[in-house]
Amino acid sequence: MKHLFKTILCIASTFMMGNVYSDSFHPETQSKRANIFADFIYWYTSETVDWAFTLQQNPSSFESSFKTFAFDWAPGFRVGLEYNLLHDQWNTQASYTWFQSRASGHTTGEVTPAFFAARLSLLEPFSTGKTNINIHYNMFDWDLNRSFSISKYLFLQPSIGLKCGWINQNIHSYWTKPNLFGFFLFTAHENLKQRFLGGGPKGGITAKWYLKNIHKHSLSLLGSFEVGYLWGHWTIRDNFIDDLFTKIAVNTSPRNFGSFMLHGFIGIGWDLNFNHEQNHFEMKLGYEIEDWLNYCQIFTDSSGSQNNDLIFQGLNFALSINF
């Protein structure tokens, strides 16, 4: 992840150096038009969360292991509307992004749950543990940007804006343990929810470098980097119930603080201009990454405060049309 961000920064820096050495800075008047766009995203989620701890005894030693989630790739989408202003290359856009990610886990042996509610149960440690996690991502973006023509083939678009929305995380666990006589199993259920709601300013830069033009078609290299600082509100609730009619609720005090969000994209684009360039169609394909710093605020009894990043990364296939 760090290497990808360094690559994006290097590309952005190279484009910005072109602004220093180029003397062909000529903003062009732009026709008033709207742009509808839709992105198909196929992301992989990374988040380190310890949900259980196992301990196995060998003849001469003990073997311990922390259990974490391994997410699968999942689809999502982004839709929006861009409005180009009458002159001076200014435009504004608004978009909404939806994504949902899931993962599951299973373990056996002497299983110690990581979350507090289950640790307070009289049945702990358990003999088996199953868990699944769902992450729901809903985010709104608004941007105001201006295009600069660095040369005939190179354009930069600095932007400022706002980002707000919510990311909800549900972790449901199922635990079992045989009774003393082994006739049946005790079972227990635990449901942990983390809710994040936040918003704040952001800024970034997008670069477009036209590689080849053939009649009304053009091929380009695209790159963007964006930083956001969001004031966030976290609520965490952990509920547990077992066959002994034990009900345990652990509610963490709400947490409020600012957190950074980093976003990057690199890819290629194909443009088609028609009707004397008043109408325009664009398609792009690239790799996208978004890092939410310190998103995971769950405190576990196995490894303490998590404070881990939530990272989405993967493919982005976008279509847009101007009219």
222 in helix, strand or coil? strand
- Asked if residue 190 lies in contact with residue 240, where contact means CB atoms within 8 angstroms, the answer is yes
pLDDT at residue 60 in the model: 66
- Asked if residue 219 lies in contact with residue 280, where contact means CB atoms within 8 angstroms, the answer is no
Element (H, E) at 12: helix 2-21
pTM for the predicted model, two decimal places: 0.83
pLDDT at residue 311 in the model: 96
pLDDT at residue 223 in the model: 96
Q: Give the number of other CB atoms < 10 A from CB of residue 207.
A: 22
Rg (CA), the chain: 25
Distance from first CA to last CA of the chain, Å, rounded? Answer: 37
Q: What one-character-per-residue DSSP string does 258-295 give?
A: EEEEEEEEEEEEEEEEETTTTEEEEEEEEEEEEEEEEE
Q: How sure is the predictor about 84, in pLDDT bands with cuts at 50, 70 and 90? A: confident
- Give, in degrees to the nearest 5, the angle at Cα 99 between 95 and 104: 170
- Higher-confidence position of 57 and 135: 135
> In this model, does residue 116 exceed pLDDT 70?
yes
Q: Give the number of other CB atoms < 10 A from CB of residue 253.
A: 8
- Higher-confidence position of 103 and 13: 103
- Higher-confidence position of 51 and 167: 167
Q: How sure is the predictor about 307, in pLDDT bands with cuts at 50, 70 and 90? A: confident
Q: What one-character-per-residue DSSP string does 45-89 give?
A: EE-----EEEEEE-SS-EEEEEE---PPPEEEEEEEEEEE-SSTT
Q: Kindly report, residue by residue over 252-285, the tens digit of the pLDDT.
A: 889 999 999 999 999 999 988 776 556 778 999 9
Rounded to the nearest integer, the mean pLDDT of the chain is 84
Mean pLDDT of 297-302: 77
User: What tokens does 271 get?
Assistant: 């443009």
Mean pLDDT of 21-36: 50
pLDDT at residue 4 in the model: 45
Q: Kindly report, residue by residue over 193-252, the tens digit of the pLDDT.
A: 999 999 999 999 999 998 988 878 889 999 999 999 999 999 999 999 998 888 999 888
Nearest in space to 134 (alpha carbons), one of 167, 96, 108: 167
> In this model, does residue 107 exceed pLDDT 50?
yes
pLDDT at residue 310 in the model: 95
Q: What percent of the chain has pLDDT over 90?
A: 50
Across 18-22, 28-32, 246-250, 314-318, which has the greatest mean pLDDT? 314-318
Burial state string for 25-34 with b = 16 or more CB within 10 A and e = fewer than 16 = eeeeeeeeee
pLDDT at residue 78 in the model: 97
